[in-house]
Structure 1
Amino acid sequence: MEFGFGPEDEEFRAEARAWLGEHLRGAAFAEAVGRGGPGSEHEGVAQRRAWERELGRGGWIGLGWGSGAGPEGMSSGLRAGPGAGAGAGAGSDGGPGVGPYGNRRATLTQQVVWAEEYARARAPGRYGHIGENLLAPTLLAHGTREQQDEFLPPIARGDALWCQGYSEPGAGSDLAGLRTAAVRDGDAYRITGQKIWTSLAREADWCFVLARTEAGSRGHRGISFLLVPMDQPGRVEVRPIRQLTGTSEFNEVFFDGAIARVSHVVGGAGNGWRVAMGLLGFERGVSTLVQQIGFAQELEGVVREAVDSGAVGDPVLRDRLVRQWAELRVMRWNALRTLGSSGGDADAGASSVAKLLWGRWHQRLGELAMGVRGAAAAVGPADWSEGSPYELDALQRLFLFTRADTIYGGSDEIQRNIIAERVLGLPREAR
């Protein structure tokens, strides 16, 4: 596998770097730089919402989206899009570098370039990534032309924010155990149930929800993928979940007769499991490389702390720092190999391998952050009057947030089961 950057990619990189530099230096967004990452979703809310629209005006949302319905038109994050070229602007589908929804066309390598430059610029944490990176490629692969035309342009403009309604209190890693029900009522479905661990539910305009549309169905059968508006007072309630960090990135969502139109069922009634599994495959595409650049920046912060405190003189800690750096390089090469592969059964466990690698790596980084600081890591601010008694610095927040890395996004145990059953062909675990 060869994955390199050619002259056109470097031109695209220069354009992306210049655009980010210009727009992040302005008064409107300068304060949002470096804010809104994992564990800090509460920071700079208004600025980051405005930043989504700024990205949309620049055509930077939806790089590589295809122009046709169905899998043959899908090029988001995993395959190169047609008509790629640097210098593309936002607008209608009127030129070789402009996509059909106001997004720029881009090859796979250019998508990687944009992801790298975005992370290196420490641009604000994205509010629109769930709609852009999860829902949009799912609609391109499984949605109707009408659904694509209705939902993709608002995402590309940065106007519509989405959240994901998958996990439930009794169906987290075992998603097939979900109990949320949707009953057909004329040209709509009425949804009743509860979802949990829902990122951005308070900010989202829409939620894509897995619900049982066939009464009495079990397991993977009878599930549908519905697009549900969040602005339904009395029918949709969001309750924040306070975490160890003192913040509330995740939420509970309660549906009490919430309405979803029949025309907003993706992939057809009863086919939700197939659509949902396709979406999970998109979750670990180019965005994995963005994540790794953020990891590299966090590692640099831990190294600086070790140098400043003198902890780097400890040979054991120094060895752990070197190991973290080396393992991060291996994760990058693995991500590039996966992106450059042709897909198919040979890569059935690729996303699970990636999750196992980064989840435990990031957790070890949080532990290392506390190790280089020593006993001082357990101490809060010197002057409590300047913040709440639970005020945390970046390294403390990193440690606490990473305790969940091996659980959310698919627990390590589930990822190992997937690899065992789908790649190694081992018998399914007795249930």
Structure 2
Amino acid sequence: MTLFDSSPRTRDLHARLRAFMEAHIHPNEAEFERQVNTGDRWAPVALLERLKPMARAEGLWNLFLPPASDPDGQFGAGLSNLDYAPLCELMGRVWWAPEVFNCSAPDTGNMEVLARYGTPEQQAQWLMPLLNGEIRSAFSMTEPDVASSDATNIEARIVRGGDDYLLNGQKWWTSGAGDPRCQVTIFMGKTDPSAEKHRQQSMILVPMSTPGVTLDRLLTVFGYDDAPHGHAQMSFTDVRVPASNMLLGEGRGFEIAQGRLGPGRIHHCMRLIGQAERALELMVARAGNRVAFGKPLAAHQHVREAIAQSRLEIDQARLLTLHAAHLMDTAGNKAARGQIAAIKVVAPTVALRVIDRAIQVFGGAGVSQDTPLALMYAQARTLRLADGPDIVHLETVAREELRRAEA
């Protein structure tokens, strides 16, 4: 992809990251699957643990944290969202690659929350171990019994009692909770049901070892369990945590969510573009070496149209994503909410279309375990729901347009 007028540092990081991916990530995709499927599927993967120190030694570590969340440059690489975009796209080509560079969700979003809103004590206890890759984390927001696309529906309770809070509720799609290294989750619940609807909720840090925290089951995504990362349904029953674990203060949950989910959404979109780009490369290679009806697939008009349409859509989605990243850097996450909402609809939709075309060109092989396309499709489809469904983001885009027209 074109890096436009990226800084020399970003271009250097991009070149080094690409070299690392080509030398250590892509050649090890089969080995990753072999290790996950040998023995305990939920144990840390030896391959990743071997690659992490190598990535860190190369300076390819904690690249995601922008200056807005880390103004003193004490935690991350100091890259803007625009600088990070092409790097995140490269990592996104292989679903497990971001963890190698300590740039994987939900840890990135949680680290951003702690960097932006955490107290010095919270940062020392949780942020620094996360930045060092010593622990992992989860995010507990969505609930099984309510439509969590409207987060005001959340029913989990956070009740103050002296120097503690008592938590009760059911959560699911708590990504990362399946990892045995997951030591903390950020829990969203209601502290004051009588307050204005966007001031009822709060977020609080919950150590996973706290009595009453129960992992009920691990969920699959179109049959994939995403081990050893995983997506959990969890129960919080009379969970008692210190009042000092509260993030930012009671009633600030929505404020934190918007600060967290904006960057998380754009990271998802960057990675999706990387997946779409890889699917197109696979499609082109397959079209060039597969023969049907007496000629290569690339000689058939419908395949050529699929390739052309995919290139057009990927480049459009990338430009829209870079525009959103630029606005986040220059105007702030809140001002960029319309553009973030737009890419959150566009990027998964484009990725799905491109991956689907690649599957069609591969035929039966495309839905088997012999290519990454089936898993890529499942992940892209999920991201039309994760971090807010399409319809919620379309509503945000519409509101922004109507507000602009009124102005």
The Cα of 1:211 is off from its aligned counterpart by 0.7
Report SS of the residue matched to 1:417. Answer: helix
Give the structure 2 partner of residue 95 of structure 1. none
| Aligned positions of 1:416-427 closer than 5 A | 416-425=394-403
CA displacement 1:148-171 (0-9 Å, x = unmatched): 333221111101211111111213
Give me the whole-angstrom Cα distance separating, in 1, the residues matched to 2:147 and 2:55: 35
Give me the whole-angstrom Cα distance separating, in 1, the residues matched to 2:14 and 2:384: 33
Which residues of structure 1 form unaligned runs of 5+? 67-72, 83-98, 381-390, 427-431
The Cα of 1:45 is off from its aligned counterpart by 3.1
Give the structure 1 partner of residue 225 of structure 2. 247
Matched, 1:190 2:166: yes
> Relative to structure 1, is the Cα distance of residues 6 and 367 closer, same or farther in structure 2, using a 3 angstrom cutoff?
closer
Matched, 1:165 2:140: yes
Give the structure 1 partner of residue 152 of structure 2. 176
| Aligned positions of 1:90-101 closer than 5 A | 99-101=73-75
Contact kept, 8 Å, 2:82 with 2:322, in 1: the verdict is: no
Give the structure 1 partner of residue 119 of structure 2. 144
Q: 2:372 aligns with which of 394, 397, 406?
A: 394
Give me the whole-angstrom Cα distance separating, in 2, the residues matched to 1:63 and 1:373: 35
Give me the whole-angstrom Cα distance separating, in 2, the residues matched to 1:177 and 1:106: 36
Contact kept, 8 Å, 1:61 with 1:158, in 2: the verdict is: no
Give the structure 2 partner of residue 363 of structure 1. 352
Matched, 1:262 2:251: no
| Aligned positions of 1:16-415 closer than 5 A | 16=17, 24=24, 31=28, 45-49=45-49, 51-52=51-52, 55=55, 60-63=60-63, 65=65, 74-75=68-69, 99-101=73-75, 103-106=76-79, 110-112=83-85, 114-115=87-88, 118=91, 124-126=97-99, 128=102, 129-130=104-105, 132-169=107-144, 170-203=146-179, 204-215=182-193, 219-232=197-210, 234-248=212-226, 249-285=230-266, 288-310=269-291, 311-341=297-327, 342-343=330-331, 347-374=336-363, 376=364, 393-415=371-393
Contact kept, 8 Å, 2:64 with 2:108, in 1: the verdict is: no
CA displacement 1:76-127 (0-9 Å, x = unmatched): 6xxxx66xxxxxxxxxxxxxxxx534x4444556534643564579972428
Give me the whole-angstrom Cα distance separating, in 1, the residues matched to 2:283 and 2:164: 52
Contact kept, 8 Å, 2:141 with 2:187, in 1: the verdict is: yes
Matched, 1:7 2:8: yes
The Cα of 1:216 is off from its aligned counterpart by 5.1
Report SS of the residue matched to 1:220. Answer: helix
Report SS of the residue matched to 2:319. Answer: helix
Report SS of the residue matched to 1:251. Answer: strand
Give me the whole-angstrom Cα distance separating, in 2, the residues matched to 1:404 and 1:251: 15
How high is the sequence identity, in percent, across the aligned residues? Answer: 22
Contact kept, 8 Å, 2:138 with 2:177, in 1: the verdict is: yes
Report SS of the residue matched to 1:171. Answer: coil
- Please give the root-mean-square deviation of Cα atoms over the aligned residues, in Å: 3.7
The Cα of 1:237 is off from its aligned counterpart by 1.9
Report SS of the residue matched to 1:162. Answer: strand
TM-score, normalisation: structure 2: 0.79
Which residues of structure 2 form unaligned runs of 5+? 292-296
> Relative to structure 1, is the Cα distance of residues 256 and 308 closer, same or farther in structure 2, using a 3 angstrom cutoff?
farther
Give me the whole-angstrom Cα distance separating, in 1, the residues matched to 2:346 and 2:240: 39
> Relative to structure 1, is the Cα distance of residues 43 and 404 closer, same or farther in structure 2, using a 3 angstrom cutoff?
farther
Give me the whole-angstrom Cα distance separating, in 2, the residues matched to 1:323 and 1:367: 12
Give me the whole-angstrom Cα distance separating, in 2, the residues matched to 1:254 and 1:108: 35
Report SS of the residue matched to 2:158. Answer: strand
Give me the whole-angstrom Cα distance separating, in 1, the residues matched to 2:311 and 2:355: 14
More helix by share: 2
Number of equivalent positions: 381
TM-score, normalisation: structure 1: 0.75
**Higher mean C-alpha deviation, range 179-188 or range 217-226:** 217-226
